[in-house]
Amino acid sequence: DSGVTQTPKHLITATGQRVTLRCSPRSGDLSVYWYQQSLDQGLQFLIQYYNGEERAKGNILERFSAQQFPDLHSELNLSSLELGDSALYFCASSVDSGAQPQHFGDGTRLSIL
């Protein structure tokens, strides 16, 4: 058990819809990272937050956004969903910023029909 909690575990929705994925980091960790994992592209870094502030941005689409709340949990919002957005979305956390060892949740599997 990594201590990182992601909900929901599975999400099935239709094209054009909007969903919110939630992540609670490990106790004491200030940084939260979001990744997308699809079959043909491996693990792609989306965005990082540190203590409530955006710290780094990766290959995140404009239709996607994220935030980290004062209690340090984070949400990833995906809108105008397309078939190609179907993937596993992972959240990870680390104590500090910088590329420290990250602890991953078990992911949310998003299926777009």
Partner 1 sequence: TQLLEQSPQFLSIQEGENLTVYCNSSSVFSSLQWYRQEPGEGPVLLVTVVTGGEVKKLKRLTFQFGDARKDSSLHITAAQPGDTGLYLCAGTGANNLFFGTGTRLTVIP
Residues that bind partner 1 (CB under 8 A): 2, 4, 33, 35, 42-45, 48, 55-56, 58, 90, 92, 97-99, 101-107
Q: Nearest distance from residue 108's CB to partner 1, in Å? A: 11
Q: Is the Cβ of residue 18 or residue 57 nearer to partner 1 in the bound state?
A: 57
Q: How far is the CB of 4 from partner 1 (least distance, A)?
A: 7
Q: Respond yes or no on whether the N-terminal peptide bond of residue 8 is cis (omega within 30° of 0).
A: yes
Closest to 44 (Cα-Cα) out of 57, 28, 63: 57
Q: At closest approach, how far in Å is the CB of 71 from partner 1?
A: 21
Nearer to partner 1, 85 or 108 (CB): 108
Q: How many H helices and E strands in the chain?
A: 0, 11
3-state secondary structure 25-43: CCCCCCEEEEEEEECCCEE
